[in-house]
Structure 1
Amino acid sequence: MDLHKLVGGLSKSGALSGFLGGVAGGGLTSMVAGKKTKKMGKSALKVGALAAVGGIAWKAYQQYSSKQGSVQAANLHQTRPQSNPQNNRVQFDFTPAQLPERAFNEVIEDTNTSGQILVMRAMIAAAYADGHIDDNERARIFAQVEMLDLSVEEKAMLFDELRKPLSLSELVAQVPNSQTGIEVYAASASAIDMHAVESQRYLNQLSQQLCIPSELTSDIHMQLANANM
């Protein structure tokens, strides 16, 4: 994933407008480009890497909601398998216009390190979809992890996963709610070559295990394509 290009495209498209309290808005691209101080640039890259994913997820969900409408809402209550001692299932609800922007913000905000780590884990697992992580992919992931405000132990854990990423089922088992599921899918799609057969197969399996409607995944792909134009 070309972070600079993705963040710049999202800023121009409006996907980041207002996201994370405006930090990821119009001034983000210039900060990422190095026109501010080194400290400010590092902060912008950290926010940009995560806000880009959050912005895509939120914009796609808005687009999906506007197209689906309330008529189909009753048919869009989704479930996915997860270990549960009572019924072995947990419900994810992708009903249009029910998830607020605040919920998407909270997944990747600075106080939610578990959400940040999960998004990075999703990128790492997706990059490994073709059976290996090449040097360029590894370097980009290293750079993004270094920008996060994580402990040494947390960063080391992510670096270790470059050698042995989470399996698809392990990744899905860590997703706690609908908005995180959408961001995990967006992060995976942003870190992968969507033209490759292995990548398409991986994303298809991920969306099925998260029970994300196909219309919503299509909107995520569209937002990614628009951001990378």
Structure 2
Amino acid sequence: MNASRILEQIMKQAGSGRQGSGQSGGGLDVQGMVDSLSSQLGGGARKSGQGSGVDVKSLLGGGALGLLVGSKRGRKLGGKAIKYGAIAGVGMLAWKAWQNSRGGDQADTVREGHAMEQLQGDAREQRSLELLQAVIMAARADGHIDDRERALITEQIDGLGADAELHGWVQRQFEAPLDAEALARQADSPQAAREMYLVSVAVVDDQNPMERAWLDQLGGALGLDDGMRQELERQALGG
């Protein structure tokens, strides 16, 4: 599979989305952008109010990530912005959260594992799969990804260069049970666990009871104590 390449592109897009949104209140007009993308993918040359065509690459800023969580955000919250920074800097922020929880103590760093951005080869591929799985499961936590949204997400991921194996893997994630324990078993180090929780925080609405419950289940399954979870959530919010 080429999961690491896909995740790297999503992280780059998330970085662009963070700058575009400014991470301010009000967020993005997500539903409108999803509808525009749906029209264009269906062959319609839908135009904007200024008479220009829809640029698929610029939609949502976060690209596939935006599509993964965007339509449900638009439906519930009028376009609440995704926490792009937590996706774009997942390894660094998770590591910073761990350091903060220890008061800056650097002991036991080998046992903690490496940050996503430090990994290479098979290790980076495996971590990428773990994080992509966490994102998909978090986006599914409220049960509102329909067939149209699945098709759009698949189109975006394929557009990023997903090979047939990764394509099949993504489809299986849509069908798999929402099982926090099974997801947590994919984490191969404490650092991986923190990163999985952090990306999950980035795509859920913690004011939604079902999504908050998913975060709580996942945090427990990953073995993260309350203080660590709070610090990761603070980092996701740019704190």
Q: TM-score range with shorter-chain normalisation?
A: 0.5 to 0.7
Say which of 79, 83, 98 aligns to 2:109.
Answer: 98
Q: Report the 3-state secondary structure (helix = DSSP H, G, I; strand = E; otherwise coil) of the residue aligned with 1:112.
A: helix
Between the aligned partners of 1:120 and 1:223, the Cα distance in structure 2 is 19
Choose the corresponding residue for 1:69, options 82, 90, 103.
Answer: 103
1:160 pairs with 2:172:
yes
Aligned to 1:207: 219
Shift of 1:130: 1.8
Residue deviations 1:3-51 (CA, integer Å, cap 9, x gap)? 3665438999xxxxxxxxxxxxxxxxxxxxxxxxxxxx9xx979x9999
**Aligned match of 1:197:** 209
Structure-2 change in CA distance of 1:143 and 1:59 (3 Å): farther
CA distance in 1, matches of 2:141, 2:203: 10
| Cα RMSD after superposing both structures | 4.4
- Between 1:61-70 and 1:200-209, the stretch displaced more is 61-70
Amino acid of the residue matched to residue 214 of structure 1? D
1:126 and 1:202 in contact (8 A); partners too: yes
* Structure-1-length-normalised TM-score: 0.57
1:107 & 1:136 partners in 2: Cα distance?
35
Report which of the two has the higher share of strand.
Answer: 1
Paired with 2:229 and 2:205, the residues of 1 have a C-alpha distance of: 15
Task: Give the C-alpha shift of residue 67 in structure 1.
Answer: 4.9
Number of residue pairs matched by the alignment: 175
1:48-59 aligned at under 5 Å gives the runs 52-53=86-87, 55-59=89-93
After superposition, the C-alpha distances for 1:36-70 in whole angstroms (9 at most, x for unaligned) are: xxxxx9xx979x99995362442243244235337
- Corresponding position: 1:8 with 2:19: yes
Q: TM-score, normalised by structure 2?
A: 0.55
- Hey, what does 2:36 align to over in structure 1? none
Aligned to 1:182: 194
Question: Letter of the aligned partner of 2:200 in structure 1?
Answer: S
Distance 1:67 1:186 in 2: 15
What is the aligned partner in structure 1 of residue 140 from structure 2?
128
Change (3 A) 1:56 1:152: same
Conservation of the 8 A alpha-carbon contact between 1:61 and 1:219 = no
CA contact (8 A) 2:14 2:85 kept: no
Structure 2: runs of 5 or more not aligned: 1-9, 24-57, 67-83
Percent of pairs with identical residues? 23
Q: Partner of 1:17 in structure 2?
A: none
Q: Which residue of the partner structure matches residue 124 of structure 2?
A: 112
Q: Could you tell me which amino acid in structure 2 is paired with residue 61 of structure 1? A: W
Q: Deviations over 1:163-204 (max 9, x none)?
A: 335522221121111111111111111121111111111111
Alpha-carbon distance between aligned partners in 2 of 1:139 and 1:222, rounded to the nearest angstrom: 33
